[in-house]
Amino acid sequence: MTETTRTIRIGTRGSPLALAQAHETKNRLLAAHAHLRDADIEIVPLSTKGDRVQDRPLSELGGKGLFTEEIENGLLDGSLDIAVHSMKDMPTVICDGLGIPCLLPREDTRDAFISRKASSLETLASGMLVGTASLRRQAQVLRLRPDLRVATFRGNVQTRLRKLEEGQADATMLAMAGLRRLGLEHVVASPIETFLPAIAQGAIGIEARLGDAAMAELLLPINDEATHHCVNAERALLAALDGSCRTPIAGLATLENGRIRLRGEILTPDGREHHLVEREGPVSDAAALGYDAGAELKRRGGPSFFTT
């Protein structure tokens, strides 16, 4: 990108984690472009419906777009230049006129178990309550430990930790990636090794207007190709399933020696039924592998799977 005096406006949600991700993006841009100064990049926090409405599950409010609509409107009307998102919050279909040209290097993809009453989910006493806003996590908990109870536990990271301290639940689960970005790893009792994570968990995506060559050039040096391939495979799986916040879906792609390994899972909300598939192939086939895996999961589950 050529030297410019135009301020680059970064749109983001206003939570501490979202702001940390926006600042990470800003710092990577400053490090990649010698001509940019701190004052050339402005972070613009916006409130989204998903942030404002905290008394109902996301599945009742309309799904993942609740965290992106206001920010995407800013991109479309030109009041923002780029937007920073947690990719696990992004709908499978991106708004017309917008795209995700850049993904930052992915953080730890695992879930974290947090409790003062047990060191792991496996050792939590029977009948105890696990609070989480994620239907995926609820289903995975019940599959592993049908003797536990689950409840919806919404709010940003700090809010959920406060609710846990207040005794509203005996344990909760959060993404390791977010806790690391906030410097809160010390609250983790143990990482959960047995669960597949949410699609694109740990990945930060940068959204921009299609055809904005200046922004594409600006973002190119900070894009992580490995993360891009893995997230493309996972999101293709999700697209094949028509997945949303209403459906317990998990998936993880890893890249090694130019080959993608993808695992995907669907569960009923009560955890009693689940299907797991795996695909492996060249990185050039990442999206095709993901879509094929999602199609197989859809066939296995059948038309009534997510209504049981």
Rounded to an integer, the average pLDDT of 74-94 is 94
- Nearby residues of 23 by Cβ (< 8 Å), 6 or more positions away: 43
Q: Which of 38-42, 123-127, 149-153, 301-305 has the lowest mean pLDDT?
A: 301-305
Domains with residue ranges and CATH for the chain: 1-106+203-223 (3.40.190.10), 111-192 (3.40.190.10), 224-302 (3.30.160.40)
CA distance 124 to 69: 38
pLDDT band for position 4 (cuts 50, 70, 90): very low
**Selection from 157, 194, 150 nearest residue 171 by Cα:** 150
**Selection from 207, 213, 156, 206 nearest residue 179 by Cα:** 156
Rounded to an integer, the average pLDDT of 185-201 is 97
Q: Is the pLDDT of residue 143 over 60?
A: yes
Q: Is the pLDDT of residue 1 over 50?
A: no
Q: Is the pLDDT of residue 58 over 60?
A: no
* Catalytic status, residue 89: yes
CA distance 181 to 198: 17
Please compute, for residue 203, the number of CA atoms within 13 A of its CA located in the half-sphere on the CB side.
30
Q: Is the pLDDT of residue 98 over 60?
A: yes
CA dist 236 to 52, 136, 175, 184, 253, Å? 30, 18, 22, 32, 11
Q: Is the pLDDT of residue 60 over 80?
A: no
pLDDT band for position 305 (cuts 50, 70, 90): confident
pLDDT band for position 64 (cuts 50, 70, 90): low
Residue 264, Cβ density class (10 Å: 0-12 exposed, 13-18 middle, ≥19 buried): buried
Which residue's entry shows tokens 């609070």? 131
Q: What is the pLDDT of residue 83?
A: 97
CA distance 11 to 93: 19
**Selection from 43, 45, 5 nearest residue 25 by Cα:** 43
**Are 9 and 39 within 8 A, CB to CB?**
no
CA distance 18 to 205: 11
Out of 89, 108, 111, 292, pick the active-site residue: 89
Q: Which of 1-10, 63-72, 194-203, 228-237 has the lowest mean pLDDT?
A: 1-10
